[in-house]
Amino acid sequence: MSQTRSSSERRICQIKRQRTRCLEKFYRPRSLKFNVTSTSIESSPRLTLVTIATYTPGYASKFPVLPIRTSHAGSSLPAPTSIPVKIYLTFDVEVWCGGWKDLDARFPSHFERYVYGRSRKGEYALPKTLDILDRHGLKGVFFVEPLFAARFGIEPLATIVDLIGARNHDIELHLHPEWADEIQPLPFPGVTGKRQHLWHYSCDEQTALIALGRSLLAQAGCDTIKAFRAGSFACNHDTYRALRKLGISIDSSLHAVLPDSGIDLRKQLGFFHPLEFEEVRILPLTVFRDGFGQLRPAQIGACSFAELRDAIETAADNQTEHFVVLSHNFEMLKQGRSEPDALVVSRFERLCAFLAEQQGRIEVSTLSDPPIRIGTQSHPPLARAGFAATIRRHGEQAIRRFLG
Ligand SMILES: [Zn+2]
């Protein structure tokens, strides 16, 4: 009991420090003075820390959405909603053979690396990813690429579905149409040569490929697909027409900084916030501003832990509804090898520990449980990472280049 209380007290101190940092970040750039006058604990369905602060009057209407409840100069601000930001830890699961020649000979060893990633230190592909999530009590969304099974058989795909499904994580559909011309029989007439991206295919062809992918996953044991992500995020308007036809109502294929993503939708849609289009609810990959002001996708292999933490904290403070993080089944492996990349492993471990600690303020969610709600509120500002966090990423990249 006393152990529980002491851990709760530590947690409250930690939240107080975070809230004060958050106030500083909000007020100081706007040259507003603030003064934290008191803090207290409010009982609600969840334990909530309320910070009371005073600040220069007159700005309330300009910046009405504050991360904390505040009081100022006799008037009251609307209390922010207590809905936690939903975080989606998404993993694109795919198997490649290091080229398109001798596919049948190469497949078994590449499958081993991409799915298990065995090394003397452990299995750092799917098994370790699942272990880390489970250890922290978090659920992942696994977008599984199934087209390879139309070439090599259902069994290897069923192995992937079993590994993920046995731990009760969410399985959804990912699709790399590079496989289309390797399939026998061909999925539709005229598939000759490589067409890398979905937007290279007509609406009817995309519909046929997505339907084939869903059917392969059903044969492998997963017939509950609700969400889709295009390979390389390379969707276009026809992708959404195809999803609507097939009744797949959730998508996460928009990537603001990849030019091939939503190639014909750039002027029509915003890529930074959730939206509904062609009766499909779209949760774009989250992109934040790094410490240099550059746009950065929230990918575990491409950001320091501190950047991801800062971005998630600012998203929570800004009342962001959805935050989509990207990783892969092979993200914790060194490039081209079946050995763990200690830097990425450490980032993922620390991110999961952080998310587990923050429950209440944020909620790690999946795409299969509750219906995805796309709010009508005005779009909050992009999440941000601090300068030190981005410098840390550059340092880590330099170390990785040095160590190989
Ligand atoms: Zn992919």
H or E element in which residue 138 lies:
none
Q: Is residue 221 part of a domain?
A: yes
* C-alpha 178 to ligand 1 mean position (Å): 10
* C-alpha 358 to ligand 1 mean position (Å): 29
* C-alpha 126 to ligand 1 mean position (Å): 15
Residue 21 has pLDDT above 70, yes or no: no
* C-alpha 352 to ligand 1 mean position (Å): 22
As a whole number, mean pLDDT of residues 229-246 equals: 98
As a whole number, mean pLDDT of residues 336-361 equals: 94
Q: Is residue 58 part of a domain?
A: yes
Residue of 196, 234, 232 whose CA lies nearest to 92: 232
* C-alpha 206 to ligand 1 mean position (Å): 16
In this structure, are residues 89 and 283 in contact, taking their beta carbons and an 8 Å threshold?
Answer: no
* C-alpha 145 to ligand 1 mean position (Å): 7
Sign of the C-alpha dihedral computed for residues 12, 347, 132 and 403 taken in this order: negative
Cis upstream peptide for 45 (omega within 30°): no
Q: Find the domain containing 55 and state its range.
A: 2-76
Same domain, 72 and 89: no
Radius of gyration of the chain (CA): 23
* C-alpha 20 to ligand 1 mean position (Å): 40
* C-alpha 92 to ligand 1 mean position (Å): 5
* C-alpha 106 to ligand 1 mean position (Å): 19
Chain centre to alpha carbon of residue 358: 16
Tell me how far apart the alpha carbons of residues 127 and 345 are, in angstroms, rounded to a whole number. Answer: 13
Reported pTM: 0.80
As a whole number, mean pLDDT of residues 57-79 equals: 35
Look at residues 21, 46, 76 and tell me which one is the last residue of a structural domain: 76
Look at residues 18, 42, 76 and tell me which one is the last residue of a structural domain: 76
Q: Where are the alpha helices (DSSP H) in 87-236?
A: 103-111, 126-135, 149-152, 154-165, 203-219
As a whole number, mean pLDDT of residues 390-397 equals: 91
How far are the Cα atoms of 231, 272, 331 from residue 197, in angstroms, in the given order? 7, 22, 22
Sign of the C-alpha dihedral computed for residues 223, 224, 230 and 235 taken in this order: positive
In our burial notation (b when 16+ CB lie closer than 10 A, e otherwise), range 99-115 reads eeeebeeebeebbebbb
* C-alpha 234 to ligand 1 mean position (Å): 10
* C-alpha 229 to ligand 1 mean position (Å): 8
* C-alpha 291 to ligand 1 mean position (Å): 28
As a whole number, mean pLDDT of residues 365-379 equals: 78
Q: Is residue 260 part of a domain?
A: yes
Q: Over the stretch 152-185, which tens digit does the pLDDT of each residue have?
A: 999 999 999 999 999 999 999 999 999 999 998 8
Same domain, 68 and 107: no
* C-alpha 384 to ligand 1 mean position (Å): 26
Specify the CATH number for the domain of residue 156.
Answer: 3.20.20.370
Max Cα–Cα distance, the chain, nearest Å? 75
Residue of 56, 65, 12, 1 whose CA lies nearest to 30: 56
Q: According to the model, what pLDDT value does residue 19 have?
A: 60
Backbone angles phi, psi at 90, to 5 degrees: -105, 140
Q: Is residue 404 part of a domain?
A: no
Residue 251 has pLDDT above 80, yes or no: yes
How far are the Cα atoms of 26, 383, 404 from residue 319, in angstroms, in the given order? 14, 10, 40
Tell me how far apart the alpha carbons of residues 63 and 130 are, in angstroms, rounded to a whole number. Answer: 41
Residue 65 has pLDDT above 90, yes or no: no
How far are the Cα atoms of 222, 365, 368 from residue 168, in angstroms, in the given order? 12, 13, 11
Same domain, 33 and 153: no
* C-alpha 260 to ligand 1 mean position (Å): 13
**Bridge partners, residue 276, by sequence:** 281
As a whole number, mean pLDDT of residues 284-291 equals: 97
**Number of domains forming the structure of the chain:** 2
* C-alpha 143 to ligand 1 mean position (Å): 8
* C-alpha 90 to ligand 1 mean position (Å): 11
Tokens of 305: 């832990």
DSSP 3-state helix, strand, coil percentages of the chain (rounded to 5)? 40, 20, 40
Same domain, 183 and 58: no
237 vs 402: which has the higher pLDDT: 237
At 397, the pLDDT band (50, 70, 90 cuts) reads confident
* C-alpha 175 to ligand 1 mean position (Å): 7
Same domain, 273 and 380: yes
* C-alpha 232 to ligand 1 mean position (Å): 5
- Return the axis-axis angle of helices 154-165 and 203-219, rounded to nearest 10°: 70
Percent of the chain with pLDDT over 90: 69
Q: According to the model, what pLDDT value does residue 27 have?
A: 53
Q: According to the model, what pLDDT value does residue 12 have?
A: 57
Same domain, 56 and 91: no
* C-alpha 201 to ligand 1 mean position (Å): 17
* C-alpha 252 to ligand 1 mean position (Å): 12
H or E element in which residue 325 lies:
strand 322-328
* C-alpha 346 to ligand 1 mean position (Å): 23
* C-alpha 293 to ligand 1 mean position (Å): 27
Q: Where are the alpha helices (DSSP H) in 112-202?
A: 126-135, 149-152, 154-165
At 403, the pLDDT band (50, 70, 90 cuts) reads confident
Q: Is residue 106 part of a domain?
A: yes
* C-alpha 388 to ligand 1 mean position (Å): 31
Q: According to the model, what pLDDT value does residue 29 have?
A: 52
Residue 1 has pLDDT above 50, yes or no: no
Q: Over the stretch 74-117, which tens digit does the pLDDT of each residue have?
A: 333 334 445 789 999 999 999 999 999 999 999 999 999 999 99
In this structure, are residues 209 and 177 in contact, taking their beta carbons and an 8 Å threshold?
Answer: yes
